[in-house]
Structure 1
């Protein structure tokens, strides 16, 4: 998808507004993206497999028959635990998603109905919540990728509650993915979770699954990720160029995998770090290439969507230099990218949240175009 938009960094000095919102839990509120000392993600109880109805339009690639040269123009694979390996899954049509299976209705408001849903992601059942506006549609769709929340304490749809409500009231069909290993999703290995590749697969298939629904306009799709979910969003964009029309990241982790490894995994989950080193042939100091291949920064030139990043200048969890470096890399790769910073905000947006979500809404609306 092509979107005319000037490449620039806008450092808008956005002071706090009068509204102070109540804090939410974990990465949707004032909590570290990946708390130091967090325990390893446990295995979630398996859920019943969801059917994979056939469909047309985006996401119907599940049954596609790629040609013999599919994926031959992709970056080389240094490890099966790598973004280029997942790019090949995409090229083979393995990330097509499925129709959404509706479950329990959690809430009915004056503007939308919020329900538990499941979808298929490369052989696994993944749960999430769906917010469907009142009316027939078709409505634009947006997938939300939440930040780190300890999986054993995670409940369906947890995280980004404010964003879910605002965007649904603004007329978007919102699919908030729980990711594999969370809530009602199938279990996943510690390695799959620690690499974040499983989450990126689930974000791609969430978009494809959402696009299959008849009340969703599959020509107007977006993605928003917060904290760890910002990194998941960037990985999804490099895996599947053209997946959405626009993407927004809030208080994102680094686009360099090693930054996140040093900040979160090594001090908080040393056993998982050791498992990763064993799988990748050593730590980054002795074998850097596999870690480059886990970093979306290495492949930002594959991104075709415009990207907006919003970041607090007082963020100690995901330091502002990470956002600066990602912005430089995005524009250097020719991506239509913008970074806006908030001088009085930390990792969790409080007084500036209203400005942030309104900027997000305006950006998505402008890039998605009219119905």
Structure 2
């Protein structure tokens, strides 16, 4: 396994679409292509380990990614609850695991054979927790990756399905979802048929933000990451775009407790993965449709620009006319994803 240590609370309720306000985290955004963009090149100057995960930013007295980085993750206790189905390629089971004491549920897909297999943790997008059912949100990716020879653990996150409840603050900040994703990797790696040196994360929409938070909180926890149609790497972008127009009471409660963005800008920066992109050690592949009406394509363009500026080996691929759900070009994107994962994990 790779060295990991870190955490404290949690990133944002996404329940609808509306136009975003300007971000408080300045960054240049590249111009929008009209066709799927060619993969952009990686960093021009490889970072050293010291520049990545070895140096921690100062701890804070409020929830933050800096505090998450200090937690000792202990993902363990992966337990099969029941087998849902067995296909020609894999067995799908409902499972639970422990995330630093919190019970989290999910689904596990194991390819037929002895292994050891490479493994992928899936981080799903926003679905109202009260209506969410286990394994919901990335069924297509589950099947495709398992058929490609990967053990797949789709985490439900805390407060979803059969997992332990999550408090209101946890559901707003969502740092706990990143904790659950990191611990999912550690729990997977303890399985005898998983190759612990060949693991990855794939996150969609809100799960893209969860994935980026996990990468900055626990450098080296996986060997590669893929994000689809991701939310912004700025906490404020997401707060203004999703939460403010849909649940203004939640925003007021957050500001009453921690201050407004004008009063305490450091608090909001401390919840933004982009603040700590210089800690990411894994190659990152980003997919985004140019017609995405939920998460504006400019968010991924800005994230890609900042990842490259931080020296991260990152690639952005855009799909002309594709919306948030990725229908017409989804198969193309998965072929590219599997090719990327096999290359980075050397399988």
What TM-score bracket applies, with the shorter chain setting the length?
Answer: 0.7 to 0.9
Q: Which residue of 1 aligns with 2:246?
A: 268
State the Cα distance separating 1:138 from its structure 2 match: 0.5
CA contact (8 A) 1:143 1:176 kept: yes
Alignment partner for residue 212 of structure 2, among 234, 237, 256?
234
State the Cα distance separating 1:172 from its structure 2 match: 0.3
For 2:81 and 2:166, the matched residues in 1 are separated by: 22
CA contact (8 A) 1:191 1:272 kept: no
State the Cα distance separating 1:344 from its structure 2 match: 1.3
Q: Which residue of 1 aligns with 2:48?
A: none
Q: Which residue of 2 aligns with 1:157?
A: 135
Alignment partner for residue 362 of structure 1, among 308, 314, 339?
339
CA contact (8 A) 2:17 2:293 kept: no
State the Cα distance separating 1:74 from its structure 2 match: 1.4
CA contact (8 A) 1:98 1:209 kept: yes
For 1:264 and 1:351, the matched residues in 2 are separated by: 26
For 1:132 and 1:319, the matched residues in 2 are separated by: 35
Structure 1 residues 80 and 35, CA, compared in 2 at 3 Å: closer, same or farther? same
Q: Are 1:126 and 2:104 matched, yes or no? A: yes
For 2:164 and 2:257, the matched residues in 1 are separated by: 23
For 2:334 and 2:55, the matched residues in 1 are separated by: 38
State the Cα distance separating 1:72 from its structure 2 match: 9.6
Question: Structure 2-normalised TM-score?
Answer: 0.84
Structure 1 residues 287 and 120, CA, compared in 2 at 3 Å: closer, same or farther? same
> Which ranges in structure 2 are unaligned for 5 or more consecutive residues?
3-12, 19-52
Give RMSD over aligned pairs.
Answer: 1.8
For 2:146 and 2:190, the matched residues in 1 are separated by: 18
Alignment partner for residue 310 of structure 1, among 287, 290, 303?
287
Alignment partner for residue 300 of structure 1, among 273, 277, 287?
277
Q: Are 1:34 and 2:15 matched, yes or no? A: yes
For 1:213 and 1:72, the matched residues in 2 are separated by: 28
State the Cα distance separating 1:33 from its structure 2 match: 5.7
Alignment partner for residue 57 of structure 2, among 48, 60, 75?
75
Q: Which residue of 2 aligns with 1:112?
A: 90
Q: Which residue of 1 aligns with 2:35?
A: none
CA contact (8 A) 1:33 1:227 kept: no
State the Cα distance separating 1:269 from its structure 2 match: 1.8
CA contact (8 A) 2:291 2:322 kept: yes
Paired residue secondary structure (1:348): coil
Q: Are 1:334 and 2:311 matched, yes or no? A: yes
Q: Which residue of 2 aligns with 1:283?
A: 260
State the Cα distance separating 1:286 from its structure 2 match: 2.1
How many residue pairs get matched?
Answer: 303
State the Cα distance separating 1:334 from its structure 2 match: 0.3
Q: Which residue of 2 aligns with 1:197?
A: 175
For 1:187 and 1:36, the matched residues in 2 are separated by: 26
State the Cα distance separating 1:34 from its structure 2 match: 2.7
> Which ranges in structure 1 are unaligned for 5 or more consecutive residues?
3-31, 38-70
Paired residue secondary structure (1:81): coil
Paired residue secondary structure (2:231): coil
For 1:153 and 1:212, the matched residues in 2 are separated by: 31
State the Cα distance separating 1:80 from its structure 2 match: 3.1
CA contact (8 A) 2:123 2:210 kept: yes
Q: Which residue of 1 aligns with 2:193?
A: 215
State the Cα distance separating 1:279 from its structure 2 match: 2.8
For 1:283 and 1:101, the matched residues in 2 are separated by: 42
For 2:182 and 2:346, the matched residues in 1 are separated by: 21
For 2:242 and 2:296, the matched residues in 1 are separated by: 12
Paired residue secondary structure (1:204): helix
